[in-house]
Amino acid sequence: MKIYHLVFTFLLSISITAQKNVNNGWTEEKVTLEQSFMDANIQIMVGKYDLAIKILKDIYKKDSRNPGLNFQMAQVYGSLNDLPSAIKHGKKAVNGSPNNVFYNLLLGNLYMESNQMTEAVRAFDRLIVLQPEETKYYDLLARAHLRTGNYNKAITTFDQLETLLGFSEELALRKVDILDESGKSKEVIKVLQKLVAMYPETMRYRYNLASYYKNQGNDKDARKVYREILQLDPEDASANLAMLDNPDNLKDEKGYLSALQPLIESDKIPMNKKILEMIPYVERLGSEPELGVPLLKIGKTLVQLHPNEAKVHAMYADIFNGLGNIDKAIEQYEKTITLNDNVYTVWEQLIIAYGQKGDYTTMATRSEDAMDLFPNKASAYYLYASAKISSSQLDEVVDYLQDAQMIAGKDLYHKANVENQRARLAMKQNRYDDAAKHLSISYEWSMGQDPQSVELLGDLASLKGDNVKAIEYWKQAEKLGYLNPNLAAKIAKGSI
* Dihedral class, residue 319 (left if φ above 0, else alpha if ψ from -120 to 50, else beta): alpha
Q: What is the tally of helices (H) and strands (E) in the chain?
A: 29, 0
Decide: 66 and 72 in contact? Cβ < 8 Å.
no
Domain membership flag for residue 423:
no
Ordered alpha helix ranges (H), 360-484: 360-373, 378-390, 397-408, 412-428, 432-445, 451-463, 467-479
Helix (H) or strand (E) holding 354: helix 344-357
In this structure, what CATH number is given to the domain that contains residue 212?
A: 1.25.40.10
Residue 459: C-alpha distances to residues 325, 436, 490, 494 (Å) = 25, 11, 9, 11
Domain-embedded: residue 298: no
- Is residue 454, in this structure, part of any structural domain at all? no
Domain count, the chain: 1
Query: Residue 224 falls within a domain, yes or no?
Result: yes
Please give the Cα distance from 436 to 145 (Å, whole number): 63
Enter the pTM of the model. Answer: 0.55
How crowded is residue 276: how many other Cβ atoms within 10 Å of its Cβ?
A: 11
Query: 465 — alpha (psi -120 to 50), left (phi > 0) or beta?
Result: left
The answer to whether position 395 is within a domain reads no
Along the 496 residues of the chain, how does pLDDT read in single tens digits? 454 544 444 443 343 344 444 444 556 666 677 778 788 878 888 788 899 899 899 888 888 888 989 999 999 999 999 999 999 999 999 999 999 999 999 999 999 999 999 999 999 999 999 999 888 898 899 889 888 888 788 888 888 888 887 777 777 877 888 788 778 888 889 888 888 888 888 888 888 888 888 888 888 888 888 888 877 877 676 776 676 665 444 445 666 676 667 778 777 778 888 888 888 889 888 778 888 888 999 999 999 999 999 999 999 999 999 888 999 999 999 999 999 999 999 999 999 999 999 999 999 999 999 999 999 999 999 999 999 999 999 999 999 999 999 999 999 999 999 999 999 999 999 999 999 999 999 999 998 899 999 999 999 999 999 999 999 999 999 888 766 768 888 998 988 8
Residue 247 domain-assigned (yes or no): no
Q: How far apart are CA 188 and CA 167, in angstroms?
A: 15
* The residue type at 419: E
Owning domain of residue 221: 168-234
Residue 265 lies in a domain: no
Residue 172, in any domain of the structure = yes
Rounded-to-integer distance, Cα 152 and Cα 34, Å? 49
Q: Is residue 302 within 8 Å of residue 264, measured between CB atoms?
A: yes
